[in-house]
A and B are shown apart, each in its own frame.
Chain A
């Protein structure tokens, strides 16, 4: 049998690479730091340029991961150390305790109903709430509950309550209600050591912190949103059940503005183009029009990057069919009106060549993306912090270290089609290496405590 391959990051690119490798007959470990795989795509509502439902494409793929015997899924785990070289990497992986027995939990959700602790929900970009014991989202894979240690009353009681309880354990509601007795408060972190032939890095992207750009008042003005927040708002599974409403007064907006290149293509923040926000904003404006036909949508941009297949047509369609307005010019400042919390945008109208001011009810910032940093892997990064690739023309998926591949958002800001293409490409390269190596050992679980 061939040696296994490790995929780090369970976003769309990591999932694709894993499935491809499995189909090649290679054993794969897929490591994901979140409780569920899916990545950014799981948070999207629809995808450009076809306006297909994102989860309708993603969910079957996620489910497919569970179907192969030669895929070992390690969610809620982090790679701590990578040693060795091509054909012989030794990897240490930390499995964080979920405090729920994986085999016993059926994902019924009874526990989450009973848990008294409410916490901002990461999946909904903190727009909604979840419990201390939770299932990340309904389509999560694996669909198993876990306890968030830092917020659980039982595991990590707040000091004042702990004193009152005088040594008696607190809460325990989830344990009482779980029909399969899956809750295990005594679970401990585990360290796994693997020997793999090749590694695929698919650690993907995170949103740049928009509050670093004070001119736009993100975090200060209630009706300024990031594009990822907006993606959750228009989603029917999102915190507002797919109703576009303002944070300040809960009313639907009449005018929405998108500001492009927020923190991208800007040497003060990130010099590179984030690649998909032009099309994502176009998509979001169309979605807004579909949900609120009367809404006025304006996109403030500098250059419309519509380079992919069908993208330019999509952009034209937004203009002609949906009446999305495009204004060329950089918004330099947003101010908030005190009376109705509307937002005033200042910019140069580059058609008429003078400064203008426009009023909107809601503003969406097309925020730059940054690579998720992975410090354990011995790879070089480029100026933007993305993992450097060997050759920008002939080998776009091999990192500067032989045997370590990089795909999707970890290599460069990418949309879904590009990420998936890279994934399949890296899978075949990794599989070639894996098949050359003979297995010596597969898995050693050490009793080491982290």
Chain B
């Protein structure tokens, strides 16, 4: 790997601060954040050290460190930090910075450092293109009965849709692979594959279970679980639809599918909508989690999930109420959101964090960074 040309630590930290790590220079390297964290308790890792890398502007070290991805926003460090540096926010900003470093196209950099307005403009343009494209694929303009694959000529849409999905996935995977290489994936492995898998799973289940017992931490886990489960169900249902469109067209009242569709959509709407509601709520007792800094990319990411969930939900409702014209309108909007989601958000925005997190956990488990026993 080529060494990065000299960049002033000021430039790097200016960017880190822009990405939300406001307290980066408050930190005096005491290690309290590491020592209070339930995750660091179970692993041989230091959150303090990555903060030092950033303070010193050691981009190469930062690129190679997988520790920020292991942070699970438990939030204990916020209280423990004697400098009020908010290590939780610093780590989130480091994750954003790292995902910029991993991306080879440079689009991530633009995505993370451009204003919200510019991001929304880009989304609207992509949306417009996809909606126009979709409408030009009309074969018939039926509005009086429901048949999605006649409304949009599925055989025509399918190859283009698949192409877009493929593009999205290959961008995502190429960045994921770069991350894997940067963090030295494949090297220094001491634990066998299945052992590592077992350890990482049991560790996460245990630590998240512990956290679930504490009311203060529950909401954060639930929000994430809602979004993740919603997305997985959604992908599954879409795949089913693409593979067996016949099921949908022939039997729109298939209850199992119907319930599945509703649940997935509601999960997405609730999981992604909660932070928005909390942010505008005037209540004094806002949970600490909702007071954390969220970057514009986070809002956009949540917005995407929320909009996909909402349009999916409306589509189901209109469909089941036999309001066909509205179903088609919402359907077009839905596709208009999914398209920029796949092209921009998944490979370059917040949603690639799921992949980076998984890789980081896998690599650290293979390296034997999971202690196997909890201190105490």
User: Chain A: residues with CB nearer than 8 A to chain B?
Assistant: 261, 265-268, 302-303, 329-333, 335, 346-350, 353-357
Contact = CB atoms under 8 A, between A and B. Distances in A.
A345 to B, nearest CB: 10
Given A302-B28, A302-B30, A347-B31, 6 more contacts: A332-B36, A348-B35, A348-B40, A350-B48, A355-B46, A357-B376
Interface in B313-328: none
Nearest to B39: A355
Given A332-B35, A348-B40, A355 B375 contact: yes
A329 B31 contact: yes
Q: Which of B32, B35, B44, B46 has the most CB of A within 10 A?
A: B35
Nearest to B83: A267
Contacts of B99: none
27 contacts: A265-B28, A265-B82, A267-B84, A329-B31, A330-B82, A332-B32, A332-B36, A332-B80, A335-B376, A346-B35, A346-B375, A347-B35, A348-B30, A348-B33, A348-B48, A350-B48, A353-B45, A353-B46, A353-B48, A353-B49, A354-B34, A354-B40, A354-B43, A354-B44, A354-B45, A355-B34, A357-B376
Contacts of B82: 261, 265-268, 330
Contacts of A267: 82-84
B29 interface: yes
Contact of B29 (A333, A350, A356): A350
Given A329-B31, A330-B31, A357-B376, A348 B46 contact: yes
A318 to B, nearest CB: 21
B298 interface: no
A354 B50 CA distance: 12
B36 A333 contact: yes
Nearest to A301: B30
Contacts, number: 71
Interface string B30-65: 111111110011011110110000000000000000
A28 B40 CA distance: 60
Q: Which of A265, A266, A333, A348 has the most CB of B within 10 A?
A: A348
A135 B318 CA distance: 91
Nearest to B43: A354
B28 A355 contact: no
A392 B29 CA distance: 28
Nearest to A349: B31
Contacts of B41: 355
A412 to B, nearest CB: 20
Contacts of A353: 34, 45-46, 48-49
Contacts of A335: 376
Nearest to B77: A332
A27 B80 CA distance: 52
Nearest to A350: B31
Nearest to B49: A353
Nearest to B37: A355
A331 B31 CA distance: 8
Interface in B9-37: 28-37
A424 to B, nearest CB: 35
B278 to A, nearest CB: 25
Nearest to B48: A348
B288 to A, nearest CB: 15
Contacts of A357: 375-376
B23 to A, nearest CB: 11
B86 to A, nearest CB: 11
Q: Which of A266, A267, A330, A350 has the most CB of B within 10 A?
A: A330
A267 B375 CA distance: 28
B30 A330 contact: yes
Nearest to A344: B376
Q: Which of B31, B48, B375 has the most CB of A within 10 A?
A: B31
Nearest to A330: B30
Given A266-B82, A267-B84, A354-B45, A333 B35 contact: yes
Contacts of A346: 35, 375
A347 B32 CA distance: 7
Contacts of B31: 329-330, 347-350
Contacts of B29: 302, 350
Nearest to B31: A348
Q: Which 6 A-B pairs have the closest CB atoms?
A: A348-B31, A353-B46, A330-B30, A266-B82, A348-B34, A332-B35
Given A267-B82, A354-B45, A357-B375, A348 B32 contact: yes
A189 to B, nearest CB: 44
B35 A330 contact: yes
A417 B36 CA distance: 38
B223 to A, nearest CB: 27
